[in-house]
Amino acid sequence: MHIGIIIGLGGAVGFLSGLFGVGGGFLMTPLLIFFGIPPAVAVATEANQIVASSVSGVLAHMRRANVDFKMGSILLVGGVFGSSIGVMLFAFLREAGQIDLVIKLSYVFFLGMIGFLMLLESLRAIMRTRRPGNHKTKLHQHNWLHGLPLKMRFRRSKLYISALLPLAIGAFVGILAAIMGVGGGFIMVPAMIYLLGMPTSVVVGTSLFQIIFVTANVTFLQSVQTQTVDFVLAGLLLLGAVIGAQFGTRAGVLLRGEQLRGLLALMVLAVSIKMGFDLVIRPEHLFSVELLK
Amino acid sequence: MILIHKILITFTLLFSASIPTSAYSKQIIADLSKSNITITSGFHGVDLLLFGAVEGKPGDDILVVISGPPTDIAQRRKANRAGIWINVETNVWQEVPSLYTILTTSPINKIAKPETLFKLGIGAENMKLKLANRPELTKSGLVPKKLIAALKQNMNNLDLWSKDIGGVVVTKNVLFRAEVHLPANILSGAYDVRVLQFRDGIAISEDNTNLLIGKGGLSAKIYNFAHEHSALYGIFAILFAVASGWLAATAFRRA
């Protein structure tokens, strides 16, 4: 693959991630696969790149004290555990020749779900701004999740909840991160808001903080197990992404929040639909080969 | 470069013409413009010139076979299960040439009969294809033709097994040349180049040469490091990412 194309891809995805404030892994990994990078290399290398972009993102949030380190630590314990399982699962599926299928199914299902929910939410928000009214929402909703043992106090998030909940969320997102080649922010952020009830101000910073460790774990395990991490490729993508993100952030100021979310939802849905089509449309060649050397 | 080729060709020609025909002399002599190629980062494949001299007559044909180092190949078949296309069958071909390029002056069926090509071991049809996972099929010679045809098709789509009919050009029955393109996805190793002269369906002369493809430069060092010290490589990749992330954050904080 040409160096210019790689940096260009990084720049384009960086622009979108700056615009929407997302990590961009869910766009970059499918694009790399689309451009002929083997899925195993794409997923492992993208994990390496996300380490870098999360470090640079978390520094900005730390300056504004928008990181709940205690919550982040519990999430990352779960995340490291989950991503280790994810990498093992990945190796097993690769051996069985089914990794492409599982990657695509995960994208179809999770992106489809998240994209659909986001689209609904932003449409509702757009309607609401057109018809202003009084909307009161409860800060927390209490349910059975609050009855779990091992309760802990999270000062920064103003929460007193069971540690099992963030552990489980961390583990689940960790598995997905390892298999899909993403940081998992697009699942982690809604889970933090709706399941844990964290204040939105600390959500992104805390999510980025734990993503660093989860993707670092994936990078290390993939390096050891499959030797599929290409840090040169990751570095080139990052170079493009860093520059693209600056322009994206500036462009983002021009759009309103709910419009941005609506656009992001459409993009997420588009990736999901594209992956879905790949699975249901009869492939041009029923046979495929892989050189085992 | 072209000038050097021309001089080389002239010399080869003079040399071959000046020696009286003996049992050891060849009617065909070939060489490559480059015989050592290094794959570095940003490798997009390589274009070579194969050239040589031949004691030819009108109507003679030249056929060139370039075959790359053997590799195992996993071949997967997709089928529709519950509406989605998934891999349902995997076969592993053992020790097949990773590259198999044929260049000729005329269509292959006009150069020689299939039996002749079989005896010479030329053509993807005449490879000794073995299925690692189904030795019983290999032994009995009942490897499904469909699998072989699909393998040829897939390898052809990857530009690894290709045919260039008319790719060899002969000038005045004495000089010939062929432009050879090797794709970016070739493996490193030793490549065999066979150059055959055919007359009336029979191979009357053959010359062989080699091509060495090596991994070099920074990418080879990184590749070796990643495979020999994979844990260190992983730690390095993480540190590299943390450092560049930090660098990016500080650079744009001031901007």
Mean pLDDT lowest among A91-100, A159-168, B37-46, B142-151:
B37-46
Task: Indicate which of A48, A50, A286 best probes the interface with B, i.e. most B CBs within 10 Å of its own CB.
Answer: A286
- What average pLDDT does this structure show over B45-56? 92
Average pLDDT value for chain B: 85
Q: Give the model confidence (pLDDT) of B115-161 as tens digits.
A: 999 999 998 888 888 888 887 777 777 778 888 899 999 999 999 99
pLDDT tops 50 at residue B21: no
pLDDT for res B151 = 93
SS3 A149: coil
Residues of chain B found within 8 Å of residue A223, distances taken between Cβ atoms: 226, 230-231, 233-234, 237
**Rounded mean pLDDT of chain A?**
85
Q: Using the predicted structure, report yes or no on whether residue A142 has a pLDDT greater than 80.
A: no
- A180 CB-near residues (< 8 Å, 6+ apart): A25, A26, A29, A43, A103, A106, A107, A110
For residue B255, the chain A residues in CB contact (below 8 A) are: 246
Task: Please give the share of chain A, as a percent, with pLDDT higher than 90.
Answer: 29
Find the CB nearest B71 among A55, A224, A292: A292
The C-alpha of B220 sits at a distance from chain A's nearest C-alpha, in angstroms, of: 12
Class of domain B2-215: mainly beta
E strands along B189-240, which residues? 189-199, 202-215
Contacts of A231 in chain B (CB under 8 A): 222, 236-237, 240-241
pLDDT band at B19, cuts 50/70/90?
A: very low
Whether residue A293 and residue B71 make contact (CB cut-off 8 A), yes or no, is yes
A176 vs A107: CA distance, rounded Å:
10
Do A293 and B72 count as a contact with CB atoms less than 8 A apart? yes
Please give the pLDDT value at position B20: 42
Q: What percent of chain A has pLDDT over 70?
A: 94
- A18-71 pLDDT tens trace: 887 777 888 899 888 888 788 888 989 999 999 998 898 888 888 888 889 999
pLDDT of residue A139 exceeding 70, the answer is: no
Q: Give domain limits for chain B.
A: 2-215, 217-255
Residue A127 CB contacts under 8 Å (≥ 6 apart), including other chains: none
Looking at B55-174, which runs of residues are DSSP E strands? 61-67, 70-81, 84-97, 100-104, 130-131, 161-165, 168-171
CA of A69 vs chain B CAs: smallest distance (Å): 18
**pLDDT, tens digit (0-9, with 9 covering 90-100), for B62-79:** 999 999 999 999 999 999
Q: Looking at the 3D structure of chain A, how many domains does it have? A: 1
Enumerate the residues of chain A whose CB falls inside 8 A of the CB of residue B249: 55-57, 59-60
In one-letter notation, the amino acid at residue B39 is: I
Q: What is the pLDDT of residues A77-127, one digit of tens each?
A: 999 999 999 999 998 998 888 888 898 899 999 989 988 988 888 888 878
Mutate to test the interface with A, among B43, B87, B157 (most CBs of A within 10 A): B87
Task: Write down the pLDDT at residue B153.
Answer: 93
Residue A155: C-alpha distances to residues A68, A152, A195, A211, B125 (Å): 8, 10, 17, 21, 72
- The reply to whether residue B154 touches residue A98, judged by beta carbons under 8 angstroms, is no
| pLDDT for position B17 | 46
Q: Which pLDDT band holds residue A253 (cuts at 50, 70, 90)? A: confident
pLDDT at B25 > cutoff 60: no
Residue A4 touches chain B, beta carbons under 8 Å: no
Percent of chain B with pLDDT over 90: 55
How do beta strands B161-165 and B28-32 pair? unpaired
Question: Hey, which residues does B89 pair with through a beta bridge?
Answer: B77
Q: How confident is the model at residue B107 (pLDDT cuts 50, 70, 90)?
A: very high
CB hemisphere CA count around B2 (13 angstroms): 2
State the Cα–Cα distance between residues A171 and A82, nearest whole angstrom.
Answer: 4
Whether A228 maps to a domain, the answer reads yes
At B18, the pLDDT band (50, 70, 90 cuts) reads: very low
Cα–Cα distances (Å) from A74 to A153, A168, A208, B51, in that order, read 12, 10, 14, 67
Give the distance from CA B168 to its chain's centroid: 16
Helix residue ranges per DSSP H, B77-229: 108-111, 114-120, 135-140, 145-157, 217-228
Question: What secondary structure letter does DSSP report for A284?
Answer: S
Q: Which domain holds residue A194?
A: 3-131+141-280
d(CA B204, CA A78): 71
d(CA A217, CA A58): 17
How many angstroms separate the CA of residue A279 from the nearest CA in chain B? 5
Q: What is the ipTM of this complex?
A: 0.84
User: Model's pTM, two decimal places?
Assistant: 0.77
Measured over the CA atoms of residue B22, residue B26, residue B31 and residue B36, the dihedral's sign is: negative
**Token pair listed for A201:** 């101000």
B24-28, B233-237, B248-252: lowest mean pLDDT where? Answer: B24-28
Contact A51 B150 (CB under 8 A): no
Average pLDDT value for residue range A248-275: 83
Answer yes or no: do B219 and A232 touch at CB < 8 A: yes
Q: Select from B80, B241, B252 the Cβ nearest to the Cβ of A48.
A: B241
Q: How high is the pLDDT of residue B111?
A: 94
Q: Which residue in the set A54, A100, A287 is minimally distant from B150, CB to CB? A: A287
Which residues of chain A are within 8 Å of residue B241 when distances are taken between CB atoms? 48-49, 51-52, 55, 216, 219, 231, 234, 238
Report pLDDT digits (tens) over A185-235.
888 888 888 888 888 888 888 998 999 999 999 999 999 988 889 888 899
pLDDT at A141 over 60: no
